[in-house]
Structure 1
């Protein structure tokens, strides 16, 4: 390869998924990463700022949730890298890619719970939206990541919704 000696040499990827399909999958995974990061940050913010009679239980639950989400970010980003593309990793990129909006101010505890329900459901929708291209490309590792993420977000949304019932 002729060119700048400081630039890494590109190595062809031949894993049985076309470049076009890998690109489409990565587009979806990038949106999932952005939604996941936004949800992580939102949950951590709520952990820091929750108040009221449910403080202790919500503070601890939010910590468990943001810790799980933090670990998931690496799994999603590394799958993007394994498919041969750079993972988005800046606030600017995440804001442009995410379907979840940041929360202004500090909501009350019950409102935090509802916001998190909506955010987990949004991440689940984003993950589910990628399956068509993943299935058609016969990409089982990405399907596995999506299935695991769907399980976590749907279960977490259910548990949070349960807190809102009378």
Structure 2
């Protein structure tokens, strides 16, 4: 696997993370209902983690000698499909379960790409991201039982 494929994979992860960040932050602002406080705080913790991850992923792309997407239009284009607005707290959690599951799948592919390119640093960073998303998935799925 080439280094360019690795950079492209990291750029895809960056864009998808950006999309999930915006989605999660919007849910934080708009959640309502009996679980308001709990979900408002959960979504805040999640979007803050995602925001920090954006910087880490972009800086890794720079370490590999490429330019990270630096404009809103580039990030929006990379973010993927815009999810439908969720109207209830339950729909928000369900949408975030789906989005984080998609993110975990993307991360698994990116880990393999990084390993194939011999980039253990990126593979480690992506594995840490996968661990975080899997834990968030477990917590959100558990809250829906």
Which interval holds the TM-score relative to the shorter structure? over 0.9
- TM-score w.r.t. the length of structure 2 is 0.93
Give the secondary-structure state (helix, strand or coil) at the position aligned to 1:52: coil
Structure 2: unaligned runs, 5 residues or longer: none
Residue 13 of structure 2 corresponds to which residue in structure 1?
Answer: 32
The verdict on how the C-alpha distance between 1:103 and 1:133 changes in structure 2, with shifts beyond 3 A counting, is closer
Give runs of ≥4 in structure 1 deviating > 4 Å: none
Quick check: 1:111 aligned with 2:103?
A: no
Q: 1:85 aligns with which of 37, 48, 66?
A: 66
Contact 2:100 2:137 in 1 (8 A): yes
Please identify the structure whose Cα radius of gyration is greater: 1
Q: How many equivalent pairs are there?
A: 145
The verdict on how the C-alpha distance between 1:133 and 1:104 changes in structure 2, with shifts beyond 3 A counting, is closer
Judging by fraction of residues, say which structure has more helix. 2
The verdict on how the C-alpha distance between 1:103 and 1:136 changes in structure 2, with shifts beyond 3 A counting, is closer
Cα deviation, 1:60-94, whole Å, max 9, x if unaligned, reads 11111111111111000000000011111333323
- TM-score w.r.t. the length of structure 1 is 0.82
Structure 1: unaligned runs, 5 residues or longer: 1-19
Residue 62 of structure 1 corresponds to which residue in structure 2?
Answer: 43
Contact 1:49 1:106 in 2 (8 A): no
